[in-house]
């Protein structure tokens, strides 16, 4: 299915700054008069938000890797059908805080399920909807865990199941993100998440401006 609008995803480790930068990009685009849908994964529409609760609840330590990947794709299928595909068909700009690349690096590589399983589920769940542009907000795994844990202490919440994973797991994810960016350099653009928030916002604006 062809995207008539523009589909931009944010990827990167926990605490890298995805949400911060997505909101800033959305504000800039709306300032130009563009219609923007912001969504987050897992989540989006209400049914997908219910699936999100299962996935991120730190109480669910016994979720099996296969159940985990199926739930991520169940959430994504609902989001694609209900929000993302209709918005793109209307010619809008869709921004998503994580998408299929997260399943590839966290479940395919981090959990070791393999890229082929993720690709097979993508064919079912996404119906050809792929990001036109992916911004990989890049920070190292140590800084990532540091920021995520600082935030969890400052604003206690129970969506910490992925933050609770080992440093080893997060290192695998980091490597997988870089391998992906090397494989698809036209789509996946790395921005330095260690820079200051305003500087990253400007860098992203330069990249997105070329696609508008
Ligand atoms: N460039 C930056 N430099 C320093 N701190 C930052 C930067 N960007 C974001 N932060 C801070 O780091 C924390 C995480 O940022 P944010 O929530 O945007 O990251 P995220 O990638 O969405 O994280 P998560 O994956 O956990 O949702 C926040 O407290 C935010 O204020
Ligand atoms: Mg976030």
| Residue 2: predicted pLDDT | 52
Q: Which residues of 55-85 are buried (b: 16+ CB within 10 A; e: fewer)?
A: bbeeeeeeeeeeebbbbbbbbbbbbbbbbbb
Residue 137 Cα: closest atom of ligand 1: 21
- CA dist., res. 122 & res. 116, Å (int): 10
| Whole-number pLDDT of residue 3 | 53
Expressed in angstroms and rounded, the spacing between residue 4 Cα and the centre of ligand 1 is 31
Q: What number of residues does the chain have?
A: 212
Average pLDDT per block of 10 residues along the chain, 212 residues long: 83 96 98 98 97 94 95 98 98 98 96 96 97 98 89 85 84 97 98 97 97 92
Question: Residue 148: what pLDDT?
Answer: 85
- Dihedral sign computed on CA atoms, order 194, 144, 158, 49: positive
- Shortest-distance atom of ligand 1 to CA 21: 18
Q: Are strands 93-97 and 36-40 parallel, antiparallel or unpaired?
A: parallel
> Could you give the CA distance from residue 76 to residue 93 in angstroms, rounded to a whole number?
17
* Dihedral class, residue 19 (left if φ above 0, else alpha if ψ from -120 to 50, else beta): alpha
> Which bound ligand lies closest to the C-alpha atom of 160?
1
Q: What's the pLDDT at 145?
A: 87
Q: Residue 33 — left, alpha, or beta (φ > 0 → left; ψ -120 to 50 → alpha)? A: left
Strands 188-192 and 133-138: parallel
Report the alpha-carbon distance of residue 2 to residue 139 in Å, rounded: 32
Distance 36 CA to ligand 1 centre (A): 21
Ligand 1-lining residues (CB < 6 angstroms): 12, 14-20, 147-148, 151, 193, 196-197, 200
- Separation of CA 147 and ligand 1 centre (Å): 7
Domains of the chain listed by start with CATH number: 6-209 (3.40.50.300)
Residue nearest to ligand 1 atom 25, measured at CA: 14
Helix, strand, or coil (residue 72) = helix
């Amino acid at each position: 299915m062809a995207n008539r609008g523009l589909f931009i995803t944010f990827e990167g480790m926990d605490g890298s700054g995805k949400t911060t930068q997505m909101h800033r990009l959305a504000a800039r685009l709306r300032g130009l008069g563009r219609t923007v849908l912001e969504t987050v994964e897992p989540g989006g529409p209400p049914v997908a938000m219910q699936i999100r609760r299962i996935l991120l609840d730190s109480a669910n330590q016994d979720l099996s890797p296969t159940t985990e990947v199926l739930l991520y794709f169940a959430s994504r299928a609902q989001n694609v059908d209900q929000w993302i595909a209709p918005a793109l068909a209307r010619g809008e700009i869709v921004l998503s805080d994580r998408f299929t690349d997260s399943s590839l690096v966290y479940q395919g590589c981090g959990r070791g399920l393999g890229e082929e399983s993720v690709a097979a589920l993508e064919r079912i769940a996404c119906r050809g909807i792929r990001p036109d542009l992916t911004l990989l907000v890049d920070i190292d795994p140590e800084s990532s865990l540091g920021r995520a844990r600082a935030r969890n202490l400052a604003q206690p919440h129970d969506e910490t199941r992925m933050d609770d994973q080992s440093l080893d797991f997060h290192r695998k994810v980091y490597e997988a993100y870089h391998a992906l960016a090397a494989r698809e350099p036209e789509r996946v653009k790395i921005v330095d998440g260690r820079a200051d928030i305003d500087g990253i916002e400007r860098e992203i604006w330069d990249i997105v401006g070329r696609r508008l």
